[in-house]
Structures are given as C-alpha cells and as structure tokens.
C-alpha cells in the first residue's frame, strides 16, 4: 500500500514511536503526578520530556507554556474559549479548517464576532487585506499556517508583525506545518500556536498541544484533579497543570517524544525539502496528463507536502476509490473538513483529490500515483 494521506495522520509511525508506547505500557504504567511511587514518578518524567521536546522544537520556548491536549482541535478550542470574551472580534481567513470555523461560529452566540479575509482562488492570503478588517474590538487574528487543502504556506511572520503593530494577538493553527517546516513563535510574533502530535511529529493519535506565550493569561476550560495542590478546592494557578486536569495520554506522549526525536534526527529542513520535492514532482507529473486541474499556488517549491487535484469530468471520490481499490494508493477526497477553503478555490461542494506525503514517501510512490491517474484517465476516455 502507498499511503498518501499524511495530512490526516502520518503513517507509518517510526518503530521508535511504537516501541516507546509499548515501553510505557510494559515498563512504566503509572499515572503521572498521581502518586509518589516509582511508576508515577517515571510517568511524570515522560510527560516532562515530551513537553521539553516540543518547547525545544519551537525555538526553546518556556516548557510550562506548552499545554498537552488530545488534538489540535482541542488546543484551538482552548485558545478561543479560554481567551475571548463577549464583545471581542476575531479576524480569520477563508482558508481555515472547521476546527477554527466551527468554534468561531459557536462563539457568535456569546457575542464574539469574526470577519473572514477572502483569499485568492489559489488560496493565497494577501496580508494587506487584514488592516481594513481591524476594529477597536479586534483581539485576535486566527491563521492557518499551512493549508490542508492546497498545501500553501501562509505569510505567518508578516501577519505576526502586523498583529504586533496593531496590538492584536496571533493564534496559529499549525496542524499541517508542525514537524514539516521550522517554526519559531518568538521570531514570528506568534502568541498562541495549536499543533498535533500525530501528523508531522509522527506521534500517536490522541496527542496535541497548545503553546501560549509567557505573560498571556488564559482561562482553563476544564477543571479537576491535577495531582498537585490536592488540599485546595480551587483550580491551581500554576502552568501547565492549570490546563491539564484529568489523566493525560501518557503512553501517547511517550510515543510523541520518540516521534519528535525522529523528526529532529531527520532534520526539519531536510523533511521540508524532501516533501516539497515530492510535491513538485507530483505537480509536474500530473500537469502532463489531459484533463487534470491542480489547485493552490502554482509555485510548489514552498508547501506543506500536500497537493489537491481533480480529473475533469470525474468525481474526486470516484478517483480516490479507484486509487484505493485498484492501485492500493490511499489518498483523501472531498472537502477535508474545510468547506470555506473549497469555496475559496471554487471546488465546493464536491472537493478535490488530496495527496499528502510524509518523510518516508519516495519519488517512486509519486511516479506510481501519476501512472495510476494516467491509467484512470485513459480508461475513462476510451
């Protein structure tokens, strides 16, 4: 099987990740922070190690400002709902995933409004479209780092500079960028960053995080036992436990530390170059075929390892189904939880075929996909 759905979750996971999860279950087993015995202490060390690895990957930010969550979606909800108050206004883009769009839609009921910057039909953001949308009540800009539909990278640093100049916070959805390109929140003026453990960082599902810049206050969304200050009925003030009530996914986080170690061993720059060259080859190969429509920025030399396309007169789900059943190639079709992005690139409501690569895909995988698509087109035109 050729797996080309790494934007959904990365596969295969490195052996070290699987070993680390198994090691946790077989050799550690304790609940982090919940007792003084050795298994619980070791479990606590596992969580600390993972937190420090994430902090290190983000340009050595303060580890206590990395809050462990089960997914990017939960991290984004924590950011929006822990930060915003009635009367606040948010600026976002038309390329966002539903994990940004739906919380913002829900928050309208609480008197929190938002404006959407329309991106170009290739899904690109012109940062000069932001200032006209800023109001005195604008508290936050929420921006996708890399599109899960087109693979385009957004001008995050430029927007960060603009946000800082206007005294507005910047929240970045790094679901597709984390582990695929270098990110430095301090350098890019990012105040909050939500990311997954299970995509580019090669960790298990059920892992993710929210980074919150030091000095920025946030309300916890869930309260309860933290294993600390057990004498108090009040939620602790200290970070990160203020935001991490309940038992964490310690086995998953053990695996995530191993995934991050693998990413660091491969090197972020090398991963980015490899994935971008695969996407460039895919775009070049597909564009030679009759009836192919490619989406996103025409320049594929800078992207998140994702490419969307359609075959004229064929439904994207049919193409994906044939690739799966006749060629054992796993791609995703449809709207990719991002209907607004598909409206932007004029592919709503049908969507696109999306191929997304990971560090272990090869040029041969890409050639096989291009060949399969050429055969599908050939059969159809007979």
Ligand X SMILES: Cc1ncc(COP(=O)(O)O)c(C=O)c1O
Residues noted as catalytic: 337
Cα 299 → chain centroid? 21
d(CA 326, CA 320): 10
Q: C-alpha distances in angstroms, 153 versus 90, 148, 186?
A: 21, 10, 18
Q: Which two tokens stand for residue 197?
A: 């453990």
Under the binding rule (CB under 6 A), the answer on residue 176 touching ligand X is yes
| Size, binding site for ligand X by CB under 6 A | 14
Residue 140 CB, nearest approach to ligand X (Å): 16
Q: Of 34-42, 132-140, 173-181, 233-241, which segment contacts ligand X by CB under 6 A?
A: 173-181
Residue 97 CB, nearest approach to ligand X (Å): 4
Beta-carbon neighbour count of residue 16 at 10 Å?
Answer: 17
Using CA atoms of 105, 106, 109, 112 in order, give the dihedral in degrees to the nearest 10.
-60
Under the binding rule (CB under 6 A), the answer on residue 255 touching ligand X is no
Nearest residue (CB) to ligand X, 148 versus 226: 148
Nearest residue (CB) to ligand X, 71 versus 352: 71
Under the binding rule (CB under 6 A), the answer on residue 10 touching ligand X is no
d(CA 109, CA 141): 19
Nearest residue (CB) to ligand X, 40 versus 193: 193
Under the binding rule (CB under 6 A), the answer on residue 71 touching ligand X is yes
Among 5, 88, 124, 173, binds ligand X (CB under 6 A): 173
Q: Which two tokens stand for residue 49?
A: 């190690």
Contact between 169 and 141 (Cβ < 8 Å): yes
Residue 102 CB, nearest approach to ligand X (Å): 11
Residue 78 CB, nearest approach to ligand X (Å): 12
Task: Give the 3-state secondary structure of residue 249.
Answer: coil
Q: Which two tokens stand for residue 338?
A: 């991002």
Quickly tell me which residue has 């995530």 as its tokens.
Answer: 256
Among 142, 144, 248, 294, binds ligand X (CB under 6 A): 144
d(CA 16, CA 381): 46
Under the binding rule (CB under 6 A), the answer on residue 73 touching ligand X is yes
Q: Of 23-31, 154-162, 169-177, 214-222, which segment contacts ligand X by CB under 6 A?
A: 169-177
Quickly tell me which residue has 């320049």 as its tokens.
Answer: 299
For the segment 193-252, give every residue that binds ligand X (CB under 6 A): 196, 208
Among 50, 72, 94, 356, binds ligand X (CB under 6 A): 72
d(CA 342, CA 334): 9
Residue 60 CB, nearest approach to ligand X (Å): 24
Beta-carbon neighbour count of residue 85 at 10 Å?
Answer: 11
Q: Of 65-73, 151-159, 272-280, 346-354, which segment contacts ligand X by CB under 6 A?
A: 65-73
d(CA 263, CA 270): 10
Is 245 buried (19+), middle (13-18) or exposed (0-12) by CB count in 10 A?
middle
Cα 148 → chain centroid? 8
Among 99, 310, 344, 347, binds ligand X (CB under 6 A): 99
Under the binding rule (CB under 6 A), the answer on residue 275 touching ligand X is no
Among 51, 65, 89, 97, binds ligand X (CB under 6 A): 97
Residue 100 CB, nearest approach to ligand X (Å): 7
Nearest residue (CB) to ligand X, 8 versus 134: 8
Which residues of the shown chain bind ligand X in the complex (CB under 6 A)?
7-8, 71-73, 97, 99, 144, 148, 173, 175-176, 196, 208
């Amino acid at each position: 099987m050729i797996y080309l759905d790494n934007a959904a979750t990365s596969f295969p996971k490195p052996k070290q990740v699987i070993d680390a999860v198994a090691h946790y279950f077989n050799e550690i087993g304790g609940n982090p922070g919940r007792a003084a015995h050795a298994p619980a202490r070791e479990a606590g060390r596992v969580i600390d190690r993972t937190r420090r690895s994430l902090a290190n990957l983000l340009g050595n930010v303060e580890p206590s400002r990395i809050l462990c969550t089960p997914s990017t979606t939960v991290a984004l909800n924590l950011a929006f709902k822990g930060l915003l108050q009635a009367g606040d206004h948010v600026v976002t883009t038309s390329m966002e995933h539903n994990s940004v769009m739906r919380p913002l839609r829900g928050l309208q009921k609480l008197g929190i409004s938002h404006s959407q910057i329309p991106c170009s039909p290739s899904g690109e953001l012109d940062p000069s479209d932001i200032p006209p949308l800023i109001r005195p009540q604008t508290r936050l800009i929420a921006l996708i780092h890399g599109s899960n539909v087109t693979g385009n990278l957004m001008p995050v640093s430029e927007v960060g500079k603009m946000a800082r100049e206007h005294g507005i916070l910047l929240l970045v959805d790094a679901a597709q960028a984390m582990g695929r390109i270098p990110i430095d929140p301090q350098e890019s003026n990012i105040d909050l960053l939500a990311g997954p453990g299970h995509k580019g960082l090669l960790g298990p599902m059920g892992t993710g995080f929210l980074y919150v810049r030091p000095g920025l206050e946030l309300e916890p969304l869930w309260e309860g036992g933290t294993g600390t200050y057990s004498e108090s009925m009040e939620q602790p003030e200290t970070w990160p436990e203020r935001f991490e009530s309940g038992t964490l996914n310690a086995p998953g986080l053990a695996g995530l530390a191993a995934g991050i170690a693998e990413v660091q061993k491969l090197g972020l720059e090398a991963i980015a170059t490899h994935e971008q060259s695969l996407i460039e080859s895919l775009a070049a190969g597909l564009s030679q075929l009759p009836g192919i429509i490619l989406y996103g920025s025409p320049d594929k030399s800078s992207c998140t390892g994702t490419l969307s396309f359609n075959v004229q007169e064929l439904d994207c789900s049919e193409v994906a189904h044939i690739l799966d059943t006749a060629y054992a190639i796993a791609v995703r079709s449809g709207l990719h939880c991002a209907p607004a992005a598909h409206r932007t690139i004029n592919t709503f409501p049908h969507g696109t075929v999306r191929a997304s690569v990971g560090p272990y895909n090869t040029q041969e995988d890409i050639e096989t996909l291009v060949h399969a698509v050429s055969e599908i087109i050939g059969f159809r035109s007979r």
